Structure 1
Amino acid sequence: MARPLLAAIHHVALICSDYARSKAFYSQTLGLRIIREVYRAERDSWKLDLEVSPGVSLELFSFPSPPPRPSRPEAQGLRHLAFAVPDIDVAIATLAQRGVTCEPVRVDEYTGRRFTFFADPDDLPIELYESQG
């Protein structure tokens, strides 16, 4: 059997409306480690690389006047961003202390795992999915 073409997710890229606000949200509120930050003058754009886990990063971009997301969450394209957490109750409590409100916890009918959603500064749906049962 041939090896799979794709090995893993390397990164996810997001365009934000307010770079400073989103940088603070992802690095301070969610605690992602900043790998590098670059200003690209020719594009009037910031690019921030954040580490999600070893080998997986989140790229945060700013561009002048990006159009808003058409609707939430069933717009064509990216539906939501999901992060695995070992204990959803701890994650929700930590986010609440940092001013982030999560939706009520639901249970995945197929896996039995618990999950919830909250929104980033641009109203992008972010899911927390409990990785342990």
Structure 2
Amino acid sequence: MNSFYKKLLALDLVFYKTHEQGYDPMVDIEEFWEKYDLKSFQDHIFYLFLSQDGIPDNKKPIYSADQLQEFLMDLLHLIRGYFEARNRGTDLSKINLKSVSKSNMNDREQKLNKEIFEFFERVSSNLKNKL
């Protein structure tokens, strides 16, 4: 089987996996967050977004195509896991998210993120009031 069809099959299997006997969406969710902390997740998403217009010639790629494909497959498993957990009425508070709390994103970065969020909240509410 050529590599294109292997990738296509792997993509399809994400959707069929939920029908396996004993499938537990919590496993997909926990495995994703064990592999990617918040900083890594954010870095991958930003890189995917920015790379849509092509990487400038003077910039070295941060992630290889294989790494990005692996991330996207893992992300698809995560989304499918959350979807299935929601459909089953699973209590998501029981998810073990140790790696998220041990994220490379330190307290200072999280505080800065919150301040930026609050700034944009104020700006958007001011715009709504003027309209």
**TM score, norm. by length of structure 2:** 0.27
> Higher helix fraction: Structure 1 or Structure 2?
2
> Higher strand fraction: Structure 1 or Structure 2?
1
| Higher RCO (Cα < 8 Å, 6 or more apart) | 2
**TM score, norm. by length of structure 1:** 0.26
User: Bigger radius of gyration, 1 or 2?
Assistant: 2
